[in-house]
């Protein structure tokens, strides 16, 4: 299982989340504590927002802890909003195109989870994409396909409805081809203004995700595991909800609603 982290608030060096904390994302890439796989060494990526509507993007197939370019960039780049991901592959080879985050226009997206029977589902799901979105597909992961399905479902206009519709689509497609609908999804994504998070699992066992407004002064952090250990200022992002975080507010949408 992958590990991820994101920040929203006053401009802050990426290293404050990715490198410096005692249980930073780099530390989690080597020794995760709340994942099936403790080592996440199948690539990494960062997306950050600055002077342009679309995010900057850097990703590679090296383990995050061994890429000196990543360590240098994180110390020198400050941003009011950024996403970071370290990968332990379950679907798709170790390739740059399969590393998160995935981006399109102002959107950036990263994922931790499992799509059961993905190889059986893949062709049906890809066929539902219009040509312009299918042409954006660069890798072979369920994560990238999930992002494109969300965009097609109207992510920009109605994020909560899009997430609900794609969960229903996955379930309906699995049932239509006669495979068990088994999905465990934790997703974090942004349009450059807000930070969106959701956790959903068909068996109720969602991959972990925590949020804190106390870890970074004046900012909000979400992470697969608390960056400074178990502390009162971390809370679990609730399951079966899409939560939209802005700099001072948050709103939740029920993913199980009709």
**How far is Cα 85 from Cα 11, in angstroms, rounded to an integer?**
19
pLDDT interval class at 38 (50, 70, 90): confident
CA dist 89 and 50 (Å) reads 29
- C-alpha distances in Å from residue 91, one per residue of 126, 173, 247: 15, 18, 34
Q: Which of 156, 153, 151 is nearest to 102 (CA)?
A: 151
Taking the model in full, what pTM does it have?
0.95
Say which residues have a Cβ less than 8 Å from residue 192's Cβ, sequence separation at least 6. 49, 53, 54, 55, 81, 106, 107, 108
Task: Give yes or no for a cis peptide into 102 (omega within 30° of 0).
Answer: no
Q: What value does the mean pLDDT of the chain take?
A: 93
Mean pLDDT score, 168-191: 95
Domain boundaries, the chain: 3-254
Encode pLDDT of 92-130 as tens digits.
678 999 999 999 999 999 999 989 999 999 999 999 999
Please answer whether residues 220 and 212 qualify as being in contact, where contact means their C-beta atoms are separated by less than 8 angstroms: yes
Query: CB burial class (10 A; 0-12, 13-18, 19+) of residue 42?
Result: buried
Query: Is 197 noted as a catalytic residue in this protein?
Result: no
Which CATH class, in words, describes the domain spanning 3-254? alpha beta
Single out the residue of 15, 125, 105 nearest to residue 55, CA to CA.
105
Looking at the DSSP bridge assignments, the partners of residue 239 are none
Which residue among the candidates 2, 74, 163, 206 is catalytic per the annotation? 2
Cα–Cα dist 86/65, whole Å = 10
pLDDT given for residue 40 in this prediction? 79
């Amino acid at each position: 299982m992958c590990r991820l982290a994101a920040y929203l608030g006053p401009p802050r060096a990426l290293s404050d989340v990715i490198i410096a904390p005692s249980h930073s994302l780099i530390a989690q890439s080597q020794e995760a504590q709340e994942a099936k796989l403790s080592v996440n060494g199948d690539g990494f990526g960062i997306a950050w927002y600055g002077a342009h509507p679309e995010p900057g993007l850097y990703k590679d197939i090296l383990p995050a802890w061994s890429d000196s370019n990543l360590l240098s960039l994180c110390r020198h780049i400050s941003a009011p909003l950024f996403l970071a991901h370290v990968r332990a592959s379950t679907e798709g080879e170790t390739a740059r195109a399969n590393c998160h985050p995935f981006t399109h226009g102002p959107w950036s997206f990263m994922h931790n989870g499992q799509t059961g029977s993905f190889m059986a589902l893949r062709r049906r799901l890809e066929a539902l994409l219009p040509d312009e979105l299918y042409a954006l597909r660069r890798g072979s992961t369920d994560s990238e396909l999930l992002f494109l399905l969300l965009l097609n479902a109207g992510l920009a206009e109605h994020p909560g409805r899009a997430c609900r519709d794609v969960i229903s689509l996955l379930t309906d497609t699995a049932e239509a081809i006669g495979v068990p609908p088994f999905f465990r999804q934790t997703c974090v994504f942004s349009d450059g203004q807000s930070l969106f998070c959701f956790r959903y699992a068909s068996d109720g066992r969602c991959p972990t995700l925590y949020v804190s407004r106390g870890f970074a002064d004046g900012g909000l952090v979400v992470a697969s595991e608390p960056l400074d250990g178990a502390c009162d200022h971390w809370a679990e992002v609730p399951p079966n909800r899409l939560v939209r975080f802005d700099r001072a507010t948050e709103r939740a949408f029920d993913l199980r609603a009709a």
